[in-house]
A and B are shown apart, each in its own frame.
Chain A
Amino acid sequence: MGAALVLALPGDCAAATAVTGELLPFDANSLAALRKSHAGKPFVLAFWSVYCEPCRDEMAEWDAVKRKHPALALELISTDAPADRALIDAFLKKYPPGPVRQWVFADAVSERVRYAVDKSWRGELPKSYFFDAAHRVEVKSGKVDRAWVDGWLPRQTPR
């Protein structure tokens, strides 16, 4: 296990985040800030919505991924609005993704947020962005493939 991954997101800390149920605001500047805070390290942006049915199954996948790779910096981002807080909480309670940091779109112009992440993203969900240590990105549409993540993650570890 490389030091970079250990640094990215220790499991005990993530557990505390999940317990408090905080929903961080995600806007058009958030990816740039995350690139900075994850500088030199891999991280994953995983977008979902309470209105997306495949996102239900996706939560269990992320839970499994995090159990297997507790150091993975996974940012789980709801494309709903802060006003949907009750729906988001109910969804995450019913389909727990495990201890990961939670965000919610905080801009009524969702195009602005999506454009900052990927200008060709039309809002289809689930949608995931895997940033390697150099922050080159691989985009996954649809439910995350656990086997693919298992293959992707070790490749990010410095040899």
Chain B
Amino acid sequence: MRLLSVLGLLLCACAHAQHTGHAQSSGPARVELASSATFDAQGVLWAVHKIGGHVMLRRSADAGKSWSAPKPVNAAPEGIGAEGDARPKIAAGTRGELYVTWTKPLAKPYTGEIRFARSLDGGASFSVPITVHADRQEITHRFDALTVTRDGKLFVAWIDKRDMDAAGKEGKYRGAAVYFAVSDDRGASFRGDYKLADYSCECCRIGLLPRDDGSVLALWRHVFEPNVRDHALGVMYADGRAGTVWRATFDEWAVDICPHHGPSLAADERGRLHAVWFTQGAKRSGVFYGRLRMNGQSGEPGVDGLRPVGDDTAAHADVAVSGSTVVVAWKAFDGTRSRLRAMVSADGGNTWRERDLRTTSGASDQPRMLRHGARLFAFWHTQLEGFTVTPVTPVTPLTTVMP
């Protein structure tokens, strides 16, 4: 036994551990790339990302070829969530406003506050950040999502755990909830906190889609009974009402897990909903594209045109639509390099072609699709190349024709 123990010591190197202690703490620092971008109505591109305790804003007047120096949105440093699906967000208002949100982590694990600041002078200055929600408990208010409706109202949605905490450990509350707040005054103040739905998953981004009637459609990873982490759709109205919540995806992913992998949602000229999402469900596993049926539209809820996105390494897909052109961009890994890939459909998602947009050998963020006018761009923040912006439309010669 003594001999076996000595062998064990060698195997697990614990003698070594006793002497080196904290030697490993000086390893490579976390590379912070989590960012978001948007075009404003004039075609100026704005991006936000985290540097230390600041959300930094950068501006590009040439669609990402060159960028201004980073400028802090929050003057006083504070915590800024930028792990997994968490990242600062930016949206442009209808009258030149710039709206920025982020999650400020609090001392207790998994807790946070949704923070907001605005600029009414084209990014020259920002308001002192405010907390969007009225609830001030030290609980989860995280994974902010931000959008502006056609009539200029600002919607902020987030993952919220007040109901789970109120239900207590014995309450069997599944996951978290989705709450939202609305601003009618260009972000000077918010009305809330309105509940969209109980039982959301805890750590995935929420996809938002403003609609012509001034409401906002949300797509999020839900926790259906007992622990099925498929997606749900629901409508948020500006007066704080929440529409019926219905099931959007049907993959049967029954698991207690943190996917860190939220969905993306866009609509075409006919109002059809195009979505991408990740699952490892009993029915299918991987990243998928599909058109989501709403209740009352084409009969029962369901998914049309379902198809896999990319290969086994595909991750963090994002979707955008212009007219009947649909673009899905995602990240893949070939063993050496990360690749930004896209699949493009010119006919509303019936037929697709796939192409490589860009590669990098360093670390990289999740990609995001951006739209300016009728044009679609893929935005990708990489460690070595910085902010990259790749035009995806008009459709150019393609490398792969998909079956």
A23 within 8 A of B: yes
Given contacts A21-B21, A52-B203, A53-B202, contact A111 B333 (CB under 8 A): yes
- A13 touching B9 by the CB < 8 A rule? yes
Cα A55 to Cα B260 in complex, Å, equals 13
Main secondary structure of the interface of A (DSSP, over half): mixed
Cα A20 to Cα B25 in complex, Å, equals 13
- B25 touching A85 by the CB < 8 A rule? yes
A68 within 8 A of B: no
- A22 touching B17 by the CB < 8 A rule? yes
Interface size on A, residues (CB 8 A): 57
Neighbouring A residues of B83 by C-beta, 8 Å: 51
- B260 touching A125 by the CB < 8 A rule? yes
Stretch at the interface among B26-34, B346-354, B372-380: B26-34
* B306 shortest CB reach to chain A, Å: 19
- B335 touching A123 by the CB < 8 A rule? no
A8 within 8 A of B: yes
Cα A53 to Cα B20 in complex, Å, equals 30
Q: Which residue in B7, B14, B29 is a CB contact (below 8 Å) of A83?
A: B29
* A93 shortest CB reach to chain B, Å: 12
B84 within 8 A of A: yes
* Among B21, B258, B362, residue most surrounded by chain A Cβ atoms (within 10 Å): B258
Q: Which residue in B18, B28, B30, B261 is a CB contact (below 8 Å) of A123?
A: B261
- B17 touching A16 by the CB < 8 A rule? yes
Cα A106 to Cα B23 in complex, Å, equals 13
B383 within 8 A of A: yes
What are the nearest 10 A-B pairs in CB distance?
A82-B27, A142-B255, A22-B17, A81-B30, A120-B312, A10-B8, A52-B258, A142-B257, A111-B333, A17-B14
Q: A-side interface residues toward B, CB under 8 Å?
A: 6-10, 12-14, 16-17, 20-25, 37-38, 49-57, 73, 80-85, 91, 94, 101, 104, 106-112, 114-115, 119-120, 122-126, 141-143
Contacts A23-B24, A51-B258, A111-B333 known; 13 new A-B pairs at CB < 8 A: A10-B5, A13-B8, A17-B13, A55-B258, A80-B30, A83-B30, A106-B27, A108-B363, A109-B363, A115-B335, A123-B261, A124-B258, A125-B258
15 contacts between A and B (CB under 8 A): A14-B12, A16-B17, A17-B12, A20-B21, A53-B202, A81-B30, A82-B25, A82-B27, A108-B363, A109-B363, A111-B338, A115-B335, A119-B312, A120-B313, A122-B261
